[in-house]
Structure 1
Amino acid sequence: MKRDTQLMRAGRPHHGTRPVNVPVDRASTILAGTARELYNRPDGTPLYGRFGTESQNALRSALCEMQRADYCALTPSGLSAMTLTAIAEVSAGGHVLASDSLYGPTRMFLTDTVARWGVEVEFYDPRAGAGISTQIKANTQLVLCESPGSLTFEVQDIPAISKAAARTGARIMVDDTWSAGLNANMLDLGADYAAQSLTKYVGGHSDVIMGAVLAQGEAAKRLKQAEWRMGLYVSPDDAFLALRGLRTLELRMEKSARNSLEIARRLADHPAVASIIHPARDDHPDHALYLRDFTAPAGVFSVEFAGWDIARSERFLDALGIFGLGFSWGGFESLAVHCDPQLRRHFRTAHDGALIRLAIGLENVEDLWNDLEQAISASA
């Protein structure tokens, strides 16, 4: 099946009389028919609500089918999807490498929590590629990547990083939220774990918070053990919402990406703009990697405004009428945030001005452009 057909059919039964959407079973206790069945349920029969009922299991199945994974852990947030991989792989005396462009809260989990476990945490240049081998040690247990990087959108050479890590047996986790597991398959590129925030494009409507981690083989077994031991759980209602979003994922991402490229093209010609940071543009330094590893772009990118300070950034944001001011992205509404208060980097290239992240939604592109133009003028 082609991907658009797969998105309609994955995670659903296709025989007998049935509703179109998977039912929501709200249950903690699931009764057994006999004492023997308490511990020996037939395959596929729910054992206890925390392990999942029909909607959670359907979502797991659909995501696994999309990315050819052996197991999918569902987590209460995108952040917990990232941290679960560390819990699955890291132990005292180990060494963790993390991309310098990693999502800020994931970064803080490593430096504030994992470091307290007696694990050395080190950051690497997100454009290191095969050069990361100089930082991989005999005790390196996990390499955490994000491609493209948070806020600054560096595209990482995941096959090269994976090959370098394999020499010592280190595992690779990629935060794959930008592609939503639709426009790239990080497991195929060599990652052991592909994690994403389902809050973003899969949920798609800014009304659910959830994460997912997918893995194959031995990594899948370790992931499942860690998920169960941590007691991670998502509600059947939230799983239903994520499944609903999955059905229209490709259509929404296509329009968001199309809008974003048009907005980026126009902004690139604006005298207030110093640079556009969008991997799908041919002026992005990692565009060749993007073309190799991704089949289509997302609608999120950053803009550097020449010579702007925080005060002008705030005036610009306050003048926006259609763009909302808020964190996250991937919903139907366009959003804008200024990035500079969030940036924590060792290897970041300095920029002369303000960095604004735009998450382009599903509105009319002319309305979005008019809103940006008037806000730039009003901020002067």
Structure 2
Amino acid sequence: MSDKQRDTKLVTAGRRKEWTHGIVNPPVYRASTCLFDSYAEMRERVKDPSARHLFYGRKGTPTQWALEDAITELENGEGTMLFPSGVAAVNAAILACVKTGDHILITDSAYDPTRSFANGFLKKMGITTEYYDPTIGANIESLIKDNTAMILVESPGSLTFEVQDLPAISAVAKRHNILIVSDSTWGTPLYFPALELGADISVHACTKYIGGHSDIMLGSATANHRMFKRLRQTAYSLGQTVSADDAALGLRGLRTLGVRLKQHEENALLIAKWLQDHPLIHEVRHPALETSPGHDIWSRDFTGSTGLFSIILKYGDYPDTAHLVDEMKYFKMGFSWGGYESLILPSDPESARSASKWSSPGPLLRLHIGLEDTDDLMKDLEAGLQRYSDAVKP
């Protein structure tokens, strides 16, 4: 898809006349009970509750269906299910792929709640999880067992931003009939075509860039033809659903995703390159920088970059970062990202690693670069780094 085609799809996707009824946006259908005009109509709808007709609020209304259709079109998938958070979407996607006795592989750089789900819930189910170095590529074949059922990739990785070689991993998976789930949140459907690169299910925390305004909790999972029915049935069995109001906010955010991402990308790259030359910075982990792990893969597989990256300081420890972050004017501390505001968060990756060693001379801080003026953001960061330098000595 070219940039122009993407921009057009962002405006037109999911706007079927039967959902919009002749207006620009589909109405917000808040519904639990859906009424039937006759016994025959009820029996017809009960026969196939997965069909797109009003059956029961948990099965969706045109508001949810419009967002599902739009994301499916952008992902070039078979179908999409919506979830009340990104974590819910990841976990349901995993559950759609596994059964008791299976062995699964998860990147060592995965989002921490994903690890918690694997180490807790899945372990209770009798599913064994093994973590792998995110830079492993085709060498993942050495970890495949007879009962390996699924590989979870997250590219780039949480906090440390290694870019994974999804096509190479996918080639191995296909030889062994193994499913791939991709947490594709950083790249969004616009910049990372996970299904085309070999994933069976592509997951997004729509709370982040798709929502774009830090005011909804929302997740999506889009599957290929091989996996969509299993994903849908898993979501139905778990009772996963989202409100019509959140779906409507997701649709609203989606329409401006293209223009917002371009500004996030421009702002973040400018600041990342500026930070590379700062005397206090040991390393900037931004996939679009040549010095970042997996940059060559990012250049091949991604069509753009977004506003989230990390910096590593040359010295000090995590409690010392209070000198930097406590008096920031524009960068605020908070979990999540993808909204219009800039965020900064000290984050230690070491405790969430088991297959690959993490070490750094100083603390890591994750930055989300928002839509503020970059001069203001750089002044804010410069002041914070100066406070740190004044208070903490190597």
Q: CA deviation at 1:17?
A: 6.3
1:128 paired to 2:136: yes
Q: From 4, 7, 32, give the equivalent of 2:10.
A: 7
- Matched letter for residue 121 of structure 2: T
Is contact 2:159-2:349 (8 Å) kept? no
Partner letter of residue 355 of structure 1?
Answer: L
Among all aligned residue pairs of Structure 1 and Structure 2, give the percentage whose two residues are the same amino acid. 43
Q: Is the 8 A contact 2:160 2:349 kept in 1?
A: no
Give the conservation status (yes or no) of the 8 Å contact 2:161–2:293: no
Distance (whole Å) between structure 2 residues aligned to residue 118 and residue 14 of structure 1? 46
Which among 35, 49, 52 is matched to residue 31 of structure 1?
35
Asked if 1:263 is matched to 2:271, the reply is: yes
Give 2:101's match in structure 1, choosing from 93, 97, 103: 93
Q: Which amino acid aligns with 1:209?
A: M
> 1:44 Cα deviation (Å)?
3.0
Question: Normalising to structure 2: TM-score of the pair?
Answer: 0.94
Partner amino acid, structure 2, of 1:263: I
Counterpart position of 2:333: 325
Alignment partners' CA distance in 1, 2:21 and 2:160: 49
Matched, 1:164 2:172: yes
> What amino acid is the match of 1:226?
T
Q: Whole-Å Cα distance in 1 between the matches of residues 323 and 22 of structure 2? A: 53
- Counterpart of 1:372 (choices 365, 375, 381) is 381
Cα displacement string for residues 98-145 of structure 1 (whole angstroms, at most 9, x for unaligned residues): 000000001110011101111111000100000000001111011111
Letter in 1 for 2:266: R
Match of 2:66 in 1: 58
The CA distance in 2 between the partners of 1:11 and 1:262, in whole Å, is 34
1:147 CA displacement: 0.3
1:18 maps to: 22
Q: Which runs of 5+ in 2 are unaligned?
A: none
Deviation at 1:341?
Answer: 6.8
Aligned to 2:223: 215
Residue 44 (structure 2) aligned to one of 32, 37, 40: 40
Q: State whether residues 151 and 339 of structure 1, in contact with CA within 8 Å, keep that contact through their aligned partners in structure 2.
A: yes
Residue correspondence of structure 1 range 69-148 to structure 2 within 5 A: 69-148=77-156
2:246 maps to 1:238: yes
After superposition, what is the alpha-carbon deviation per residue over 1:54-90, rounded to whole angstroms, capped at 9, x for unaligned? 1100000000011111110101100011100121111
Q: Which amino acid aligns with 1:208?
A: I
CA distance in structure 1 between the aligned counterparts of 2:327 and 2:283, rounded to whole angstroms: 21
What residue ranges of structure 1 are gaps of 5+ in the alignment? none
Q: Deviations over 1:254-293 (max 9, x none)?
A: 1011100011111111100001000001111311100111
Q: 1:175 aligns with which of 173, 183, 190?
A: 183
Instruction: Indicate whether 1:356 and 2:365 are aligned.
Output: yes
**Structure 1 residue 92, shift from structure 2 partner:** 1.1
Q: Equivalent residue for 1:302? A: 310
How many residue pairs were aligned?
380
Q: Cα offset for 1:308?
A: 2.1
Give the letter aligned to residue 153 of structure 2. C
Corresponding letter in the other structure for 2:6: R
Question: CA offset at residue 39 of structure 1?
Answer: 2.9
The CA deviation string for residues 133-175 of structure 1, in whole angstroms up to 9 with x for no partner, is 0001111011111000000001001111111112221100010
* In 1, Cα distance between equivalents of 2:349 and 2:62: 42
| Preserved contact between residue 137 and residue 168 of structure 1 (Cα < 8 Å) | no
Give distance in 2, aligned partners of 1:180 and 1:39. Answer: 40
Residue equivalent to 1:228 = 236
CA distance in 2, matches of 1:122, 1:326: 30
Structure 2 residue aligned with 1:201: 209
Q: Moved runs in structure 1, 4+ residues, more than 4 A?
A: 14-17
Q: In 2, Cα distance between the equivalents of 1:249 and 1:185? A: 16
Q: For residue 161 of structure 2, what is the aligned residue in structure 1?
A: 153
In 2, the alpha carbon distance for the partners of 1:73 and 1:44 equals: 13
